[in-house]
Structure 1
Amino acid sequence: MHGPRLAILDGEVLPADEARIPASDEGFLRGDGVFEVARLYQGRPFAWEEHLARMQTSAENLRLPFDAAQVDTDVRTLLAAAGPVDGAVRVVVTRGGARLALVEDVREQPAAITLATVVYAPTRILDGIKSLSYAANMLAGRLAVEQGADEALLVTPHGRVLEAPTSAFFYVLTGDATLYTPPLDDHILDSITRRRLIGLTGAMERVTARDDLARLDEAFLASSLREVQSVQAIDGRWLTSAPGDRTVEAARLFSRMVAADLGLDA
């Protein structure tokens, strides 16, 4: 099955394609709302408490009324109805007051992908907010595809490498075995998967310039849905290792951590 399967809207479980919010809701009209996506393994959401806490912070920073306990109850009710599925749960709270959660399939990803740099200026006022206003991120991905790549790598007008539109970016420089990732101070998302991987791998934050991309030995993207995904080329330059040793290690450590956290068979 592909696409959303089951939903809960304001406490009512129903087929996802029957969930409706009013056309007047400013979450729809203006992208005024917050969201989170957590990966499901056998019906269990990975790092759900961290996702819920970040959603609370996003709502507070957006001055959006938010009832964390009610959202938590909604998600647990939905997952009980959905059963032991693998996929993702997407949670949305809008300015109009709608609480929506969807159980979705996760698109199968290739083992390695290509990236193209796309110039992007982060919106400072939305720092610390995972809002519904994701049109710029989605457009960046489409622009990368138009360049013949699979996904975008966001770079500021001043040449600072940031992240992919929906994923953190990690890399290893040629001749240096250290795993690096751009710093949060450069206004990237405080990704939960990124945070976990830094703890697992000892990755270091490093201000990353566009010129550094010519010196990469290996790289990968990381997110709730991608987990750890190797990068094989950036702007047409093929990397030496795809996947490289640090990428393989990160994927192994992350998979083992998920299994341990959720009590799954490794």
Structure 2
Amino acid sequence: MDDLTFHGVDITYGPAGVPPTVKSVSMTARAGQTLGLVGESGSGKSSLARAAVGLVGISRGRITLGDRVVADASARRGRPRPSRAIQMVFQDSVGALNPRRTAGQTILEGIAASGHVPRADFRPELERILDLVHLHRRHADRLPRELSGGQRQRVALARAIAARPEVIVADEVTSALDVSVQSAILNLLRELQEQSSLTLLFISHNLAAVRYVSDHIAVMRDGQVVDQGASATLLANSRVPYTRELVKAVLTIPPLTTT
């Protein structure tokens, strides 16, 4: 397992000369831990997520996974090199899932992409992954429209896990869900991270959710990381006024139980 590191990353949308949307971001999601990335809408969080998985190019800096280069602004105009080792789960589970494919077919795509499972073992592996994300075997035969929002998000997580990545990038995965379902998904993320020693980049505007799942937190504002550190230390003792305001504004998250 390797660290996912952003080295002085800029992301620019538009022609040369346009100011970057993301500016000089340096941060690390340490191997086997969760880095929470928090900030208001438009702060640049999702742009960094998309750069890590190859959906957005970078205009300055590098992104690395251990000694492997994920994106380098000096090569091929900063276009990332998509890797099975980094998988993303999106906020919009409806748009992320093929409406014509059942949950089982979707997860099987990830299993096939992993390259580690013989075809004869696809079905047992599918059942194992359904168990991991707390879905019943009957859900494998259902289309996305036949599933609840929480169930669809579990399918999206299952597909990502099925590819056997080193890193999962979870971009606002709870923001569209009811509060009780959010709690269940947050518990699931913690459980999966602990059981599989995954590295998790958890992105949200909700500091309560970030605090619950994260070992370390980075705070973004206007395209820059303005604060970062170990979760407990940063939330209790930050000297950055913006972070202190976020802490004051956040509601205490209730104890969560897996459902």
**Fold shared per TM-score above 0.5:** no
Point out the structure with the larger helix share.
2
Q: Which has the higher strand share?
A: 1
